[in-house]
Amino acid sequence: MNHFARKLMVTALSAGLAFSFTAPIASTPGVAASVSYCKNYARKQANKRTGAGDVLVGTAVGAGLGALTGALVGGKKSVRTGAIIGGVGGTVVGGVETNKKWRRIYDRAYAECRSW
Q: State whether the Cα torsion 34-36-38-40 is positive or negative.
A: negative
Domain residue spans of the chain: 1-31, 33-114
Please tell me what DSSP assigns to residue 34: P
Mean pLDDT of the chain: 81
Rounded to an integer, what distance in angstroms lies between the CA atom of residue 67 and that of residue 101? 27
The model carries a pTM of 0.61
pLDDT tens for each residue of 31-45: 567 999 999 999 999
Weakest-pLDDT range from 9-18, 28-37, 67-76: 9-18
Overall average pLDDT of the 81-92 stretch: 93
